């Protein structure tokens, strides 16, 4: 799960596995597998970084157990 910020400043937690696309022609739009789109303040690079960090944490916990 990654935390993102909507344009109105509200935080939203998104399942990283559900992210299908990230577009940034003007605002950053995250497209989900469900077809829903979320406009957020973060840049595509920030979102990718958060997803990578989330996956690292998951892999570390899986290997430790």
Residue 65 pLDDT > 70: no
Residues 34/20, Cβ–Cβ less than 8 Å: no
Mean pLDDT in the chain? 94
How far apart CA 56 and CA 5 sit, in angstroms, is: 22
pTM of the shown model: 0.87
Segment 25-49, tens digit of pLDDT: 889 999 999 999 999 999 999 999 9
| For residues 16-22, average pLDDT | 96
Residue 61 pLDDT > 80: no
- Strand pairing partners for 32? 19
What are the residue ranges of helices labelled H in 1-65?
44-64
Domain extent listing, the chain: 2-64
For CA atoms 57, 58, 63, 65, give the dihedral sign: positive
SS3 category, 25? coil
- As its CATH architecture, domain 2-64 has Beta Barrel (2.40)
């Amino acid at each position: 799960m990654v935390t993102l910020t909507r344009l109105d400043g509200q935080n939203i937690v998104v399942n990283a596995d559900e992210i299908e696309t990230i577009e940034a022609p003007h605002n950053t739009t995250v497209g989900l597998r469900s077809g829903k789109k979320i406009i957020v303040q973060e840049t595509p690079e920030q979102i990718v970084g958060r997803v990578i960090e989330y996956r690292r944490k998951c892999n570390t916990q899986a290997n430790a157990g």
